[in-house]
């Protein structure tokens, strides 16, 4: 195998059997359960990286079921996404922590975009009249979200616009062989080709529990603001470097 072959074919590891295929990555019947809550402003400012800023201390806790994901298969994900203002003064989101149950999207999400993914066991299901999201880190329950199932319909066009137009930001870190950062970038991405099939809201509650290796409760729930349940198709667009911390 010569140097030209390595350069041409290198995009993931292991080289001879990559953990995921090349994109784009399209998701069919992707199901979101999102609970937005108010938390401590100082706690947010301590973890949101410049040049992003925080004005309103709002966090969205997400449970996402992805039964048909090109290249990644069938998996479920959960995590915290923070409302921020980007360097252009526009509303955006910053993904703080993510937990999921499938190796391919863990590897692809971290290597390509810088999604902060760790292995855990989230679930999203319907229990009678209730939409239920749970997150277990190992055998320990660290989050429970509930919402009345399809109590009220939301405006599909408005939800589709939010998903399509709101930029997402990630802190991508890849270390050098000596442990120092070789890549340290703020990455921006968008959801593309979004089609929302349904959108609902209802009464909701969220409980977070302390865990040393899944410290989601460090952003405490002070007040639940809203909740929504979405069914959609979308393509996860590849990212671009918004800021290079090593430049």
Mean pLDDT of all residues in 124-150: 98
Range in 8-22, 72-86, 176-190 with the lowest mean pLDDT = 8-22
Q: Is residue 2 a part of any domain in this protein?
A: no
d(CA 197, CA 101): 25
Q: How confident is the model at residue 186 (pLDDT cuts 50, 70, 90)?
A: very high
Tally of CB atoms within 10 A around 19: 16
Mean pLDDT of all residues in 196-203: 98
Evaluate if residue 222 carries a pLDDT over 90.
Answer: yes
Mean pLDDT of all residues in 92-115: 97
Q: Is residue 213 a part of any domain in this protein?
A: yes
Mean pLDDT of all residues in 162-177: 97
Q: Is residue 75 a part of any domain in this protein?
A: yes
Parallel, antiparallel, or unpaired: how do β-strands 58-69 and 25-38 relate?
antiparallel
Evaluate if residue 1 carries a pLDDT over 90.
Answer: no
Would you please indicate which residues are annotated as catalytic (active-site) residues? 117
With 0-12 CB in 10 A as exposed, 13-18 as middle and 19+ as buried, what is 85?
middle
Q: Is residue 205 a part of any domain in this protein?
A: yes
pLDDT digits (tens, 9 = 90+) for 109-132: 999 999 999 999 999 999 999 999
Q: Domain of 144: which CATH number?
A: 2.40.400.10
Phi and psi of 162, rounded to 5°? -60, -45
Q: Is residue 104 a part of any domain in this protein?
A: yes
Q: Which domain holds residue 35?
A: 22-244
Mean pLDDT of all residues in 223-243: 97
Evaluate if residue 31 carries a pLDDT over 90.
Answer: yes
Strand partners, 152: 201
Termini Cα distance of the chain: 33
Q: Is residue 4 a part of any domain in this protein?
A: no
Mean pLDDT of all residues in 10-23: 92
Count of domains for the chain: 1
Q: Is residue 45 a part of any domain in this protein?
A: yes
Number of alpha carbons in the 13 Å side-chain half-sphere of residue 65: 15
User: What is the structure's pLDDT at 108?
Assistant: 96
Mean pLDDT of all residues in 208-233: 98
Q: Is residue 83 a part of any domain in this protein?
A: yes
């Amino acid at each position: 195998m010569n140097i030209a072959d390595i350069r041409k074919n290198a995009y993931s590891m292991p080289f001879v059997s990559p953990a995921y295929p090349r994109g784009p990555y399209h998701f069919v019947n992707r199901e979101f359960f999102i609970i937005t809550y108010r938390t401590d402003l100082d706690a947010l400012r301590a973890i949101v990286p410049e040049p992003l800023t925080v004005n309103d201390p709002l966090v969205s806790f997400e449970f996402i079921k992805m039964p048909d994901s090109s290249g990644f298969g069938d998996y479920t994900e959960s995590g915290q996404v923070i409302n921020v203002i980007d360097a252009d003064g526009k509303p955006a989101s910053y993904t703080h922590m993510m937990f999921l149950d499938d190796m391919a999207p863990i590897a692809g999400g971290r290597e390509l975009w810088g999604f902060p993914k760790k292995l855990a066991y989230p679930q999203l299901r319907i229990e009678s009249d209730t939409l239920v999201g749970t997150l277990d880190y190992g055998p320990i329950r660290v989050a429970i979200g509930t919402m009345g199932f399809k109590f009220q319909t939301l405006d599909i066009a408005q939800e589709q616009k939010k998903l399509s137009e709101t930029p997402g930001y990630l802190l991508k870190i890849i270390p050098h062989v000596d442990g120092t950062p070789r890549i340290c970038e703020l990455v921006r991405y968008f959801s593309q080709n979004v089609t929302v099939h349904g959108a609902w809201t209802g009464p909701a509650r969220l409980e977070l529990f302390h865990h040393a290796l899944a410290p989601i409760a460090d952003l405490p729930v002070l007040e639940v603001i809203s909740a929504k349940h979405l069914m959609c198709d979308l393509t996860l667009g590849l990212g671009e470097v918004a800021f290079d911390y090593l430049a």
